[in-house]
Structure 1
């Protein structure tokens, strides 16, 4: 196998995917069988500057270059060759947010990430105008809020895009987005696979009195679907991606996608009646719909697969951050006691304890709201742990409740789909950090959703692998091969995974916890208001 891989690397038969997540940038190189052969990653964190969650451009490029360099070093170490070309490249990133550029290509204001809950007025106004739910984190809400705020930069906008769209543009010169990513910028017409023309006209009418120098369709990227070509790596782009100067220009790029779309690909859940849930810093569930919903819901976003099929998305800003902070506290205690524990052992021990807790978590209550939570209408977050004198306060219940509450806001959205709209879901595929400890996150998720939850062996590869697969599909598909067929035949055929069905006692326990969770939101509200 080593020889074949080496030959594939030298002859440009490999494919590269790079994804910028909220805490890690990962580069994955895949071989001719679509399996990963090398990788590199770079850890980073957003900054809170002038009341805005952001990453600066220097951090973005340093992170991309570092993850690429580590991947290339991995290639050299394993196969003894220098990486100079690949068959195709794809970039993906955190969806939504706001990156606006002037005529010279200069960033007008610092990048506003998806994490900012600062567009409530705009999101509400647009949702009413369009009769379509526009979440606060969507790019169009950020743009309209900047207009409503009278921000000076707005008239100078020449191009607006997302993080993945920005990187793609700098590396290829092409101002494009994959349809899945674009569906988090502005509503998509699933028939034309591009921005909804009626809503574009409505938006232009809304801002007509401002006499701006542009119309919406002039500043948004062009929309492409999976399989379409999205430009080539330029000479300037090659130097920007690989500072060693080894990488050659001319490599084709697939459309840049969002982390939601790459998650669907990485879990083979782009077919109808399937779904996937990504659980890490934030948590979101994507359900591929058989038809449209009966009405617009504030708690449900409608986006698309990378091929343009309608997807209902329940998204919660907060998932594992507070849970990780508690595990970090236990790690500190262990070190104070002279124990140096491996992170996997620490997480594994604590997570497995949660399975021994009372079904409802022993009457304990927690909110892991590190940031605001739109699903429950909080503009800011206050992590809380609450118990009554008669709660069954032990370590198993403590861990169980923190795992439960990581999915609490998500469950509110999913109950709308599964209970109110009676959406049919055969199974959901889990990926992300919450599922790393075998069986635990799966079992808790199955309890929350009352749906079988599968985790594939490949799910740990995540979105970087997902975008690499989309790039592979672009160059390797046969003429009439759909993405769904390509995934089934060329990527996931024979792949092992594990499925956990919901346990009735766990499901009932989670429902009991949710009654407490909803009732206790008043405590969270008091904490937010008190600690202003």
Structure 2
């Protein structure tokens, strides 16, 4: 069974900042795409929340927009596939009403609970069983925070879910979680693909308070008729639950074979590889999440990707913004043009890009950013290039951990917003020291969701078929001289982090409390 010329798959990708709805035709061709943004609320320091109902309405709006276009008019939507950001937590009461907003992955309110898990509650053993590093991002830490800091809310919660589960509950009236999203909670055993009873006991919750577990190919039918009609869909359309955005990004760029590494640098960053068995790191540096019940994605995310360049632009690049306006250029393009004037290594200026703390490989929410080696010779172009290099060095640090546990890369495929810049792509290639391939894939996670949907409904015999759909648009060869410079810088990057770890903790506490004195007495 294959897709006909007038048939299409609708992929819905629930991201941190927006919902993308993409209609795909044969072999992953994009027919039409729409994006609807939504805000991130920070009601307190270290908190990060979103309105689940607003996200649901964004889905409805995006689907309406896609299906009302002239491009979509001649196509029949055969199925829907879902992708979603990981690690969100939402509390629901027994009547199915919201008790909390969606507490998203960037939320750091549970720093103390994450440390308690690491130091007192067997966090490393939990990681080895579940594949989710102990960090404030995970629902594991967030539920423990709720139990300790908001006990009334904790005891009122009938169901702990994430944003995808909320959306599917609104569509179908049932609570289900795919293995992929569930494997990113810290609550799921990798070896059994079932909730970890020891973790549930630790948290003092029951499996009845968690969604039913299903494969990433699970098909839901019988959508709420009023919602289906509002979106312009049939209530009987097959909806494939899909997986998380990270593992689907590997699928979307065709990086599913042994040694095939996918690197994504958007707002944040990640590096991942698919394996045929669960794989965790004795040092706890990497994650392991499910793609299917027989394929696993190992790797790690960084907090600080393209958002670093945006921070630099917003805070320090007013002259570039004004010049770019006069020239009709994108300010980012002008900034990167400046960076191109500077040789590899930024003439001795090194940037540790931990402005939002850091996830892999350190899993340290207290890590803080640093420019090291500043001298009078350094100008704005040096700082711009150092930021580009620092973001890539953070990706490389995760790549080192990935290589240690899964073996060397045989192929590197890169995607994300950074890939628009030839300079930034070459820096990544030089740091990795290996040929870099850049595919023509605008929305890798959405394409992965579409491929999973096609596979689930029987239109694909294998997920590997997507490899033939991916067209490589850029190839970069490493400059070996630059690679040597970056290896030396990376050694320094690691040493600086190790030496300043205690100082990061002190500074983070100061920033949270505003009371510096107690942290440095003695």
Coarse TM-score class (shorter-chain normalised): 0.7 to 0.9
SS of 2:262's partner is: strand
SS of 1:180's partner is: helix
- Alignment of 1:401 with 2:381, yes or no, is no
Residues 134 and 141, structure 1, Cα contact 8 Å, conserved in 2: no
Residues 176 and 256, structure 1, Cα contact 8 Å, conserved in 2: no
| Aligned twin of 1:414 | 399
- Alignment of 1:127 with 2:103, yes or no, is no
Residues 242 and 453, structure 2, Cα contact 8 Å, conserved in 1: no
Cα deviations across residues 413-450 of structure 1 (Å, max 9, x unaligned)?
321232x446132112211111122x333222223333
d(CA) in 2 for partners of 1:452, 1:525: 38
Residues 320 and 368, structure 1, Cα contact 8 Å, conserved in 2: no
User: 1:340–1:367: structure 2 CA closer, same or farther, 3 Å change rule?
Assistant: farther
Q: May I ask how many residue pairs the two structures share in their alignment?
A: 494
Query: How far off its partner does 1:337 sit?
Result: 5.0
Cα deviations across residues 286-311 of structure 1 (Å, max 9, x unaligned)?
12236665853332112122454232
SS of 2:42's partner is: strand
Query: How far off its partner does 1:355 sit?
Result: 4.3
Q: 1:427 aligns with which of 394, 407, 411?
A: 411
User: 1:247–1:289: structure 2 CA closer, same or farther, 3 Å change rule?
Assistant: closer
SS of 1:400's partner is: helix
| Aligned twin of 2:482 | 506
| Aligned twin of 2:493 | 517
Q: 2:21 aligns with which of 18, 27, 52?
A: 27
Q: Which moved more, 1:330-339 or 1:91-100?
A: 330-339
Query: How far off its partner does 1:183 sit?
Result: 1.3
- Alignment of 1:324 with 2:307, yes or no, is no
| Aligned twin of 1:202 | 198
d(CA) in 2 for partners of 1:291, 1:470: 19
User: 1:131–1:185: structure 2 CA closer, same or farther, 3 Å change rule?
Assistant: closer
Cα deviations across residues 153-193 of structure 1 (Å, max 9, x unaligned)?
2223322222122212211234223322221124655565x
Residues 273 and 299, structure 2, Cα contact 8 Å, conserved in 1: yes
CA RMSD in angstroms comes to 3.0
Cα deviations across residues 427-477 of structure 1 (Å, max 9, x unaligned)?
12211111122x33322222333343211112x223223212222222243
User: 1:249–1:422: structure 2 CA closer, same or farther, 3 Å change rule?
Assistant: closer
Q: 1:483 aligns with which of 444, 459, 463?
A: 463
Query: How far off its partner does 1:506 sit?
Result: 2.4
Residues 34 and 472, structure 1, Cα contact 8 Å, conserved in 2: no
d(CA) in 1 for partners of 2:463, 2:427: 31
SS of 1:347's partner is: helix
Query: How far off its partner does 1:247 sit?
Result: 2.9
- Alignment of 1:176 with 2:158, yes or no, is no
d(CA) in 2 for partners of 1:257, 1:289: 16
- Alignment of 1:54 with 2:30, yes or no, is no
- Alignment of 1:456 with 2:439, yes or no, is yes
User: 1:282–1:294: structure 2 CA closer, same or farther, 3 Å change rule?
Assistant: closer
Residues 371 and 382, structure 1, Cα contact 8 Å, conserved in 2: yes
Cα deviations across residues 485-511 of structure 1 (Å, max 9, x unaligned)?
x3235x44xx33333233222222222
User: 1:318–1:335: structure 2 CA closer, same or farther, 3 Å change rule?
Assistant: closer
d(CA) in 1 for partners of 2:280, 2:450: 35
5+ long unaligned stretches in structure 2: 515-522
Cα deviations across residues 173-217 of structure 1 (Å, max 9, x unaligned)?
34223322221124655565x226xxx22124434xx5xxx51x2
SS of 1:47's partner is: coil
Cα deviations across residues 33-83 of structure 1 (Å, max 9, x unaligned)?
43110111123341211341011134313432333233234x22x46x388
Residues 287 and 313, structure 1, Cα contact 8 Å, conserved in 2: yes
Query: How far off its partner does 1:263 sit?
Result: 0.7
User: 1:509–1:195: structure 2 CA closer, same or farther, 3 Å change rule?
Assistant: farther
d(CA) in 1 for partners of 2:116, 2:222: 36
- Alignment of 1:223 with 2:213, yes or no, is yes
| Aligned twin of 2:247 | 261
| Aligned twin of 2:161 | 161
SS of 2:145's partner is: helix
Query: How far off its partner does 1:224 sit?
Result: 3.0
Residues 178 and 255, structure 1, Cα contact 8 Å, conserved in 2: yes
Query: How far off its partner does 1:233 sit?
Result: 2.6
User: 1:488–1:366: structure 2 CA closer, same or farther, 3 Å change rule?
Assistant: closer
Query: How far off its partner does 1:126 sit?
Result: 5.1
SS of 2:63's partner is: helix
User: 1:468–1:377: structure 2 CA closer, same or farther, 3 Å change rule?
Assistant: closer
| Aligned twin of 1:92 | 83
User: 1:341–1:55: structure 2 CA closer, same or farther, 3 Å change rule?
Assistant: farther
d(CA) in 2 for partners of 1:239, 1:387: 60
| Aligned twin of 1:234 | 224
User: 1:140–1:308: structure 2 CA closer, same or farther, 3 Å change rule?
Assistant: farther
